[in-house]
A and B are shown apart, each in its own frame.
Chain A
Amino acid sequence: MALENLIAFFLLNYLRKNFDKPEPFPNTNRLLIIGMAVAAFLGLLGASDVGPRFLTSLLSLLLMGALIYGILTLPSFSKGRPIVAAILPYVSITFLAEFGQILFPSTYSGVEALFETAEFFAFIWAVAQWWISRRQRKALEVQRLIAEQKERELVLTEKIKAQLEIEVAERTADLTKQKEELEKALTDLKATQEQLILAEKMASLGELTAGIAHEIQNPLNFVNNFSELNHELLDELEQAAEKGDTDEIKEIIQDLKNNEEKIVSHGKRAEGIVKSMLQHSRKESGKKEPTDINKLADEYLRLSYHGLRAKDKSFNATYKTDFDPNLPQLEVVSQDIGRVLLNLINNAFYAVGGKEAKEAAQSRGGEYVPTVTVTTKKLPKKVEIRVIDNGPGIPDEIKDKIFQPFFTTKPTGQGTGLGLSLSYDIVKGHGGELRLQSDLGKGTEFVISLPSI
């Protein structure tokens, strides 16, 4: 009966290590150890033939029976069931053989060979069961590992997903921030552009200042001079009246009248200059009104010329005008067209004032007379204003860019690069056209054509 108890011993030990929660008894582990001790004791008894064989076998049967019953009925011991399935036939046959041998020795000896055969097959069964169960366990183990792996992957995936979500949120926040920054930059740019346009206006006004001062000083001098003259004439008139010299009186009165007219005309001239300066610097664009283009062109030509003269003493150039006396009045915003004219004329003077034009002319062996010419001409349905210089001309590669904003050939700080761009827009805004013709070494001609009704 040693082998059965050994089986019981290992089975108990197996259960001790593999029972599931919850514990079926308050002290399952201790109970099983006691069971193991009992099995070991019974095994020793059986092996040594000490003590009554029947009692030992009976106790062994009870132990094995209780054990198998427990395994089959208690859910916590369910892991022992495959082992029970494996050993049950063998254990049943050996106990049957044992008790047959003890209780019915004569009958048993007759069927001993049968029992031995049965034991043999039961043993093979047990081994086969053990082997199958081991395979199943291994397969289960593999599945479990796969499941664990999947679980780990799932956890990892979740983690990555969470990470990605955070990154997406961060990126979205970044993009939103960038978008806001860009929008702000755009707003700033627009504001800057407006400021630049205003700055250009003011810069051209600044260029005008000296010219304006000169242009106002001259009529003002005349006003003062003719006033003084009239004062003197009045004294003379008094003397003549005392003498009763009628001819002299008449002559003096005529002079007084003429001088008075001059005072008025020069006063108006100064007023006109101040007015156009104020118009030029005005922020909002003005209204279209009938404008004498010849007068406007002449005014800005003089302002530009005297402005440059006052700024640079060494500057000199000739200007010529060829105005069409039959020019109709045009419906234009006069200060805007004035700005265009001022820009083109300033550029023209700038072109003829440089060294290049002079050198080019001298290399051809001629004397260079820097000249800016402004002409007007009435054409069918339109009026053409030309600003012509005999400067160095504009190279082809620059011609395309010349009307682009911020394009300038002047040294940094001297030109905003907005003059021609704004001029182009202003002329377009009047339904007109601004174009240029230029020959290298000969000069440039800007043509403003404006529609006339």
Chain B
Amino acid sequence: MKILIVDDERDVEMLFRQKFRKEIKTGGLELVFAFSGQQALDILSETDPPQVVYVFSDINMPGMTGLELLEKVKTKFPNINVSMISAYGDTENYNKAIKSGAKEFFTKPIDFDSLRKEITALLN
């Protein structure tokens, strides 16, 4: 099962890959990474239907923001789950995200336990 992580910080990839190494090794989890909103859309459009089932996106990114990406993904691929991960956990961002169809809203620094729960629930 493919999950897409979107963040302009490239080290996120290394972090996630190690955090979920067990799930990747044994649980059938596959992680793909995009470093901008546009790149994320490109990855989603590679196959039809897209292989990715869940997108975790940062909100603050140069160019297309996570919220804009959320709207676009929800319009084009309504079946894909999208959750936000942001350093700015204010109500404005939260309400916007939930209104636009975000499944969950995680704040940075990331609580990997709750993230793992979310992903494990998906895997099972």
Contacts and interface: CB of A to CB of B under 8 A. Distances in A.
Interface of A: 214, 217-218, 220-222, 224-226, 228-229, 233, 255, 258-259, 262, 266, 305-306, 309-310, 313, 316-319
A225 B110 contact: yes
B65 to A, nearest CB: 6
A305 B62 contact: yes
B108 A222 contact: no
B109 A306 contact: no
Given A220-B109, A226-B15, A229-B18, 13 more contacts: A217-B108, A218-B108, A221-B87, A221-B109, A222-B9, A225-B110, A228-B112, A233-B18, A255-B18, A317-B62, A318-B62, A318-B63, A319-B62
B88 A259 contact: no
A222 B90 contact: no
A220 B108 CA distance: 11
Contacts of A228: 112
Contacts of B87: 214, 217-218, 221
B92 to A, nearest CB: 5
Interface string B1-44: 00000000101001100110000000000000000000000000
A210 B112 CA distance: 25
Contacts of B81: none
A316 B11 contact: no
B60 interface: yes
Closest CB pairs A-B (n = 7) = A318-B63, A221-B109, A319-B62, A229-B18, A225-B15, A313-B92, A316-B65
A214 B93 CA distance: 16
Contacts of A255: 18
Contact of A306 (B60, B90, B108): B60
A310 B88 contact: yes
A221 B108 contact: yes
Nearest to B17: A255
B18 A259 contact: yes
Given A214-B60, A225-B110, A319-B62, A313 B93 contact: yes
16 contacts: A221-B87, A221-B109, A222-B15, A224-B109, A225-B110, A225-B112, A228-B112, A229-B15, A258-B14, A262-B11, A262-B14, A305-B62, A306-B60, A309-B60, A313-B93, A318-B62
Given A229-B15, A258-B14, A218 B9 contact: yes
A320 B11 CA distance: 20
A217 B9 CA distance: 12
Nearest to B15: A225
Contacts of A221: 87, 108-110
Contacts of A259: 14, 18
B95 to A, nearest CB: 11
Given A217-B108, A218-B87, A224-B109, A266 B11 contact: yes
A234 to B, nearest CB: 13
Contacts of A222: 9, 11, 15
- The secondary structure that dominates the A interface is helix
Nearest to A262: B11
A318 B63 CA distance: 4
A133 B28 CA distance: 151
Nearest to B109: A221
Nearest to A229: B18
B36 to A, nearest CB: 9
Interface string B71-93: 00000000000000001101011
B18 to A, nearest CB: 5
A313 B18 contact: no
Most chain A CB within a 10 A radius of its CB, from B15, B62, B87: B62
Contacts of A214: 60, 87
A269 B58 CA distance: 20
Contacts of B92: 313
A450 to B, nearest CB: 26
Nearest to A310: B88
A33 to B, nearest CB: 123
A220 B11 CA distance: 12
Nearest to A302: B62
A220 B9 CA distance: 13
A79 to B, nearest CB: 116
Nearest to B68: A316
Nearest to A371: B63
Nearest to B16: A225
B109 A313 contact: no
A143 to B, nearest CB: 105
Contacts of A229: 15, 18-19
A303 to B, nearest CB: 13
Interface string B81-122: 000000110101100000000000000111010000000000
Contacts of A217: 87, 108
Nearest to A317: B62
Contacts of A317: 62
Nearest to A301: B62
Nearest to B96: A313
A103 to B, nearest CB: 151
Interface string B52-69: 000000001011010010
Contacts of B60: 214, 306, 309
A225 B109 contact: yes
